[in-house]
Structure 1
Amino acid sequence: MNFLNKMERKFGRHAIHNLSAYIIALYAAGYVLLMFSPQILGYLTLEPGLILRGQVWRLVTWVIVPPSSLDIFTIIMLFFYYSIGNTLEHTWGAFRYNVYIFTGIIATALGAFLLYFILGGNILFGSALFSTYYINMSIFLAFAAMYPEMRVMLYFLIPIKMKWMGMVYGVFILYSFVKSSWVGKVAIIASLFNFIVFFLMTRNYKRVSPGEINRKRKYKQATSTPKGVTKHKCAVCGRTELDGDNLEFRFCSKCDGNYEYCQDHLFNHVHKHK
């Protein structure tokens, strides 16, 4: 969690906002290809052997391949995943949600390459083994873990709490894991690696709970410095924290008064005395 905090402070501004909308848009493009030119999807799947032979676009394009055929239930589920994805992004922040999604994508790709080399190469997986199916399921599991008591209308008809749906999904995944070959087990673990790391390996789960995140957000808003106002200023060069992310400031105990200095002048300034 401390590592994520540091990464968010450094790279948070580069996070993709409303990522769920982009995911749904990619699926929409995949369904259009499936309807009008299904043979093209064969050139987009995650195939390590073909990637190593120069078809590097497959490292990215496999996320376009839809995990199932298009019907009314698929449309409902896509809207559902869009809704819970947006809620997770609002709860965690765009950066952490990006990390969660892209961790699942990268782990899936690495799992495909791992199996490719273990099996000796010269093997094609197709879209059935390595797809975004379990990555989507990881979004649902994350939402169920964050909001276990939330009640949703399954297919707009059946009221059910998220914790019960999460348990059903968990049992289904466990059943699939047990029944699958070791090749399938690697694919499932790789696709759910983001959920495993983010939740099962988090020492203090309460730190990622909605209540704790909301409390921290309110505290940050209450204690944040207005735009254009600085907290630190070097008494020698006049630099502030706005002049660089790596600048550090300290007060000098030998100066009379509250004089603050940057790291470049903390030990080589003339002490001020009254």
Structure 2
Amino acid sequence: MKIINKLERKFGRFGIPHLTNYILVCYVIGYLLSMTKTSLISYLYLEPGLILQGQIWRLITWVLVPPGMSNILFVLIMLMFYYSLGTTLERTWGTFRYTLYIFSGLLFTVIGAFLLYFIEGGYVLFAGMFSTYYISMSILLAFAVSYPDMRVLLYFVIPIKMKWMAFVYVAMIGYDIFNYVRMGVWQMAVPIVASLLNFIIFFLSTRDIQRYHPKEVKRRQEFKKAVNPTKVTTITKHKCAVCGRTERDGENLEFRFCSKCNGNYEYCQDHLYTHEHVK
């Protein structure tokens, strides 16, 4: 999208390197809190009503609330999986675009929470309905679009292409939304749409989606190299002041400095005694 290109040119320096590491650290903190002091987690949720009452910290601390999963093994697998996805996306897109993608998802989630709060007149279905689960899902979907044919081992056992995994998750998301609307609790669909709005904006509403594909990125890099080949500067230790030859012009060439020349002039064996001395 042109607007993203403009933002990158103007604010590119504000990208956060290794953002995935910080996200996973937040998840780890959240998991530790949920396992040790369950009641403490309730003070971290994104709840607009409590925020408007003065609990401003909830605007940030809800990021510590990890995606659901209590089994330690599945948590470790999830952390390693999303570390791989996130770091690869950052290398593919660049730090700024990846940072913008993540933070726009967080921002849309906060906006969605407040809109739902005001639409419902301050009524909330249950605490913690806005979480980082679908933020993590947006990373997986973005990776699947960028690397559709990459195979991963699901749970380190089942080989599956990313595009098929994405199709399964999209189908699950669609089913959840349909179910919530059918049962008359459409409010439950708001967190899903809000958290995935960054994916919709970045991919489904842009015409140059292929420019983010790794093959396209590689093709553009190779084209730039072909058009503007890098000049390789060769540094040599010796160079004859007369003929310009260096040690690269022959293995048997010898070079000496002339003590009679005024300055550091070096000559090859053919011109050491025949050159005109510099005074």
TM-score range, shorter chain: 0.7 to 0.9
Deviation, 1:200, is: 0.7
Indicate how the Cα distance of structure 1 residues 123 and 166 shifts in structure 2: closer, same or farther if over 3 A, else same.
closer
Task: Report the counterpart of residue 188 of structure 2 in structure 1.
Answer: 184
2:190 alignment partner AA:
V
* Identical-pair percentage: 56
Counterpart contact for 1:149–1:163, Cα < 8 Å = yes
1:153-175 Cα offsets, whole Å, 9 max, x none, are 11111111111111111111111
Root-mean-square deviation (Å): 2.0
TM-score by length of 1: 0.77
How many angstroms apart in 1 are the aligned matches of 2:122 and 2:101?
Answer: 30
1:114 alignment partner AA:
L
1:126 alignment partner AA:
A
Number of residue pairs aligned between Structure 1 and Structure 2? 225
Indicate how the Cα distance of structure 1 residues 89 and 224 shifts in structure 2: closer, same or farther if over 3 A, else same.
farther
Task: Report the counterpart of residue 97 of structure 1 in structure 2.
Answer: 98
2:15 alignment partner AA:
A
Indicate how the Cα distance of structure 1 residues 125 and 134 shifts in structure 2: closer, same or farther if over 3 A, else same.
same
2:159 alignment partner AA:
P
Q: Give the match's secondary structure for 2:33.
A: helix
Indicate how the Cα distance of structure 1 residues 224 and 56 shifts in structure 2: closer, same or farther if over 3 A, else same.
farther
Deviating more after overlay: 106-115 vs 29-38: 29-38
Indicate how the Cα distance of structure 1 residues 53 and 124 shifts in structure 2: closer, same or farther if over 3 A, else same.
farther
1:81 alignment partner AA:
Y
Counterpart contact for 2:49–2:117, Cα < 8 Å = yes
Deviating more after overlay: 85-94 vs 115-124: 115-124
Counterpart contact for 1:49–1:124, Cα < 8 Å = no
Indicate how the Cα distance of structure 1 residues 10 and 121 shifts in structure 2: closer, same or farther if over 3 A, else same.
same
How many angstroms apart in 1 are the aligned matches of 2:222 and 2:6?
Answer: 20
Correspondence list, 1:1-274, <5 A: 1-71=1-71, 72-123=73-124, 125-127=126-128, 129-180=129-180, 181-217=185-221, 223=228
How many angstroms apart in 1 are the aligned matches of 2:223 and 2:6?
Answer: 18
Indicate how the Cα distance of structure 1 residues 18 and 210 shifts in structure 2: closer, same or farther if over 3 A, else same.
same
Instruction: Point out the structure with max Rg over C-alpha.
Output: 2
Task: Report the counterpart of residue 262 of structure 2 in structure 1.
Answer: none
Deviation, 1:6, is: 1.5
How many angstroms apart in 1 are the aligned matches of 2:44 and 2:188?
Answer: 20
Counterpart contact for 2:48–2:117, Cα < 8 Å = yes
Deviation, 1:220, is: 6.0
Q: Give the match's secondary structure for 2:42.
A: helix
Deviation, 1:121, is: 1.3
Deviation, 1:204, is: 2.4
Counterpart contact for 2:92–2:212, Cα < 8 Å = no
Deviating more after overlay: 69-78 vs 216-225: 216-225
How many angstroms apart in 2 are the aligned matches of 1:103 and 1:217?
Answer: 28
Q: Which runs of 5+ in 1 are unaligned?
A: 227-274
How many angstroms apart in 2 are the aligned matches of 1:156 and 1:32?
Answer: 24
Deviation, 1:211, is: 2.1
How many angstroms apart in 2 are the aligned matches of 1:190 and 1:61?
Answer: 18
Deviation, 1:212, is: 2.2
Counterpart contact for 1:88–1:97, Cα < 8 Å = yes
